[in-house]
Structures are given as structure tokens and as C-alpha cells.
Homo-oligomer: A and B are copies of this chain.
Amino acid sequence: MRRNDSTLPSIEFEDEFVDGLRDIFERRIVFNQFLQFTVISIRHDRVIGRMFHRPELVGHFSYNRLHGGVICAALDAMGGLAVMAAIGARHMDEPPSRRLSRFGRLGTIDIRTDFLRQATGNYFDLVGEIVRLGSRLASSRMEFRGADGGLLAIGCGSFVVS
């Protein structure tokens, strides 16, 4: 798909903001701790994460595949992170702590996950991209890729942001 037509200028986030978002997504969201979800990079229009395969995350024990619900959970997290980054970029006039507090007013309205291929391998790369940030609503698209770069699942979600 073509680059998204974000009207947001390219923005360099301060370390304080990036570290704060990482802290929210890696530690304060308790279930993400269990997923051992790691934030790799945060840009105003695109965020990247990674998670490692672990026996606890498997679906049926006969197959060493990630459970579909784990994929849904990871894509939901990436979609929310992408929205938070876009909100942060819109409010660069605010101090980082104030921007981070906006997270408390973010909620997922609905999310769709398409399972494309079996999720095996040691780790998985996650991408979240903002497709629209309005004053009250936001939309994002997400990708779940294998260690070889292959697309394993895609998702899209709607969020309420005010």
C-alpha cells in the first residue's frame, strides 16, 4: 500500500517521551509484560515492536504455533501504540509528561485480525501505522511478521482518543 497521507510533519520525539511510552507499553500494561512485548522504535506515523516465541504462548501443544489470541493481543497493543505516537506528535507543544497522560483517554473500539500463515519461529516483528488521527477517533493498520520478514497476520482497529 502507498505511504499513508499523514499530514503530520516528521517529528523527532524527546527521549523522555519515547521512554515513557515504552514504559507504559512494556511494563504498566501488565498483560504486555506476560507477552514480553518490546518496543523497538516510535515514530509519529509508525511504530515497531518485537516479541519472542515462548512455550506459554502456544496454541495447541502438538504444534509449536503462537496462539491466535496472542497475535490479536500484540496487534491491539501495536495499534494503540501507533495512535499514542500520533497523538504525541500532534501535541509537541505540551511537555512529555502531559502528552503521556493522554494515554489514559485512549480506548480500542474494535479490532480485526486476519490470520494469514502459521506463526512459528523464534521471534516476531510487529508494525503499527496510523491511517487517521481525528480529534475524537483514530484508525490504525498493523502487521505481524515472522523472523524471515514474511507476513503472518494483519490487523486494523478503530480507537477513541479523547
Q: Which residues of A line the B interface, CB within 8 A?
A: 1-2, 4-5, 24, 28-32, 34-35, 55-62, 67-70, 72-74, 76-77, 103-104, 107-117, 127, 129, 131-132, 136-137, 139, 141, 143, 149-151, 154, 156, 158, 160, 162
Partner pick for A132 among B4, B59, B67, B151, CB 8 A cutoff: B151
Residues on the B chain within 8 Å of A107, using CB: 115
**What is the bound-complex CA distance between A115 and B111, given in angstroms?**
9
Residues on the B chain within 8 Å of A139, using CB: 110, 114, 116, 154
So how many copies of this chain end up in the complex? 4
Q: Is the interface of A mostly helix, strand, loop or mixed?
A: mixed
The reply to whether A109 and B158 form a contact with Cβ atoms under 8 Å apart is yes
Residues A28 and B62 in contact in the complex (CB < 8 Å), given A111-B113, A131-B116, A132-B116: yes
